Every structure is written in structure tokens, then in C-alpha cells.
């Protein structure tokens, strides 16, 4: 039987206190990985995830940082040393800029925040943690992208600009770093059902969205996390440079 086994691996998840981040962290821990849990503002949420990870018998630490700055990522590296050198980088954090606006109205600050937390986060993480991955000759870099990068809908410009920039960096990185035994891939969720939906904190009118999805439903946070765990494992050792939509067929990259 195939099994996702991450025993002995250390994973860093940025934005680990968020709706998707917390589920990815727990899923990686359930597969045997230890966790470095980054958060920006929600300390209590991150600490809850840390307790969950420890309850699974894994080691964990939390660290607050601004991932859009080199100093912030170096702070994460300092905290991670208590557990070792991360083998798996899950690039998940992003600044929230809702409500989105038309290009003619969107603030320059919103474009800058998306560039910092999508593009510069990726660059800083790879520059800080990449050398250790190269020395080990094994590593996983997994960027959390979005179906929006292919849809180009109105009012999405700042978010899409940041995520498409992240996509460009990761595709080039895949060519540069694969020779060292490090895979680089992206997971692109659709509109995802999360804890906020299940508790009724967010009331979503999703009928129109579900109607356009070939599977006729929204995906769940667990379904996204399962793909991340797969890409982090040796089962995906020859998957490299991929952009994997996990959105029920709502977007389909073509050849």
C-alpha cells in the first residue's frame, strides 16, 4: 500500500495560523513531519496549531515574522534552528487586501503588499533556506498559488499580479535548483471550504460558483492539504515545475 511518509523531515509552513495553513500543517504532521509554524498576526491561532502538531507526536515551534522582508525570514530561520534545517518549504502566507478593486481604483499599496508577500517572500525563503537544501541534496519547495491566476477576473489585478510573479520565480527556480535533488511545484486551490464555513462564521452564497465547477462543488481544505503532502513526499519525486490546480476542474491548463 502506498503511504505518504514524511518521518524525519522538517517542514516550514508560512501563514500556518490561516484557514488553509493550519490544515496543511496538521496534515504534514500526521504524515510524520515536524513543523516550523509561521504567523504574522494570529499568535493564538498559531499556538493552537502547535498544540495539535505536538498532540500527533511531532516537534513544533511557532514564530512571528514579516515574510516580505529578509529580516523576517532570517528570524524564522533563527527559530527553526531549535528543530533543525527545514527540508520542506510551503509558501502559503499572503497579505489580505479585501475588498478587491478595479485597476483604476486599486491602491498602489495593495500592489506592493502582494509583491512583497508573494514574490519577495518566495525569494527570501529560497535564498535563506535553499543553500541547506542544496547541501543535503533533497528538498521540496511548494508554492500555494490560486486558480485566479488563470481566470483574470475583474478586480483581481493586485492579487493576480503577485501570484503570477510568484509563479514566474518558482518556474525559473525549478530549472535552476532541480539538479540538486530539490523539487519545486505549485498548488492552485479554488474557492475552498474551510473551518470558517463549517462553523458558520462565514455565510457563503456559492451556488453560482459551484455551478461552473465541473465537479459541482467547492473543494475542502483537507483536499488541498493532501496534494501538498503528496508533493512533499517521495511519491512525487519526479514531479517538478508543475502548477497543479486543485479546483474541481474550474481551470484546466492546456497544451
CA separation for the pair 121, 72 (Å, rounded): 9
Contact 167, 145 (CB under 8 A): yes
Burial 184-199 (b: 16+ CB within 10 A, else e): bbbbbbbbbbbeebee
Specify which residues 37 forms β-bridges with. 13, 62
CA separation for the pair 6, 139 (Å, rounded): 12
Q: What are the phi and psi torsion angles at 212 (to 5°)?
A: -90, -10
Supply the DSSP string of 172-196, one letter for each residue: HHHHHHGGGTEEEEEEEE-SEE-HH
70 membership: H or E segment, kind and range: helix 70-80
Of 95, 98, 117, 124, which is closest to residue 18 (Cα–Cα)?
Answer: 95
Q: Of the residues 39, 111, 159, 209, which is catalytic?
A: 159
Active site residue 159: yes
Query: Annotated active-site positions, please?
Result: 159
Amino acid at each position: 500500500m502506498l503511504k505518504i511518509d514524511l518521518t524525519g523531515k522538517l517542514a516550514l509552513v508560512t501563514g500556518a495560523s490561516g484557514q488553509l495553513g493550519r490544515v496543511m500543517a496538521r496534515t504534514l504532521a500526521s504524515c510524520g513531519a515536524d513543523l516550523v509554524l509561521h504567523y504574522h498576526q494570529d499568535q493564538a491561532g498559531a499556538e493552537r496549531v502547535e498544540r495539535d502538531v505536538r498532540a500527533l507526536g511531532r516537534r513544533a515551534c511557532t514564530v512571528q515574522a514579516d515574510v516580505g522582508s529578509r529580516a523576517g525570514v532570517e528570524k524564522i530561520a533563527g527559530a527553526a534552528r531549535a528543530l533543525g534545517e527545514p527540508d520542506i518549504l510551503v509558501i502559503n502566507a499572503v497579505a489580505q487586501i479585501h475588498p478587491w478593486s478595479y485597476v483604476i481604483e486599486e491602491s498602489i499599496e495593495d500592489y506592493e503588499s502582494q509583491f512583497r508577500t508573494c514574490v519577495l517572500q518566495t525569494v527570501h525563503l529560497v535564498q535563506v533556506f535553499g543553500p541547506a537544501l542544496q547541501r543535503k541534496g533533497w528538498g521540496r519547495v511548494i508554492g500555494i498559488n490560486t486558480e485566479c491566476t488563470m481566470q483574470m477576473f475583474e478586480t483581481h489585478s493586485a492579487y493576480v499580479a503577485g501570484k503570477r510573479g510568484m509563479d514566474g520565480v518558482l518556474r525559473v527556480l525549478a530549472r535552476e535548483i532541480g539538479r540538486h535533488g530539490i523539487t519545486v511545484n505549485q498548488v492552485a486551490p479554488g474557492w475552498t471550504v474551510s473551518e470558517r464555513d463549517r462553523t458558520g462564521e462565514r455565510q457563503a452564497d456559492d451556488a453560482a460558483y459551484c455551478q461552473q465547477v465541473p465537479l459541482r462543488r467547492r473543494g475542502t481544505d483537507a483536499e488541498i492539504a493532501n496534494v501538498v503532502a503528496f508533493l512533499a513526499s517521495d511519491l512525487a519525486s519526479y514531479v517538478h515545475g508543475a502548477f497543479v490546480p486543485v479546483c474541481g476542474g474550474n481551470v484546466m491548463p492546456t497544451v
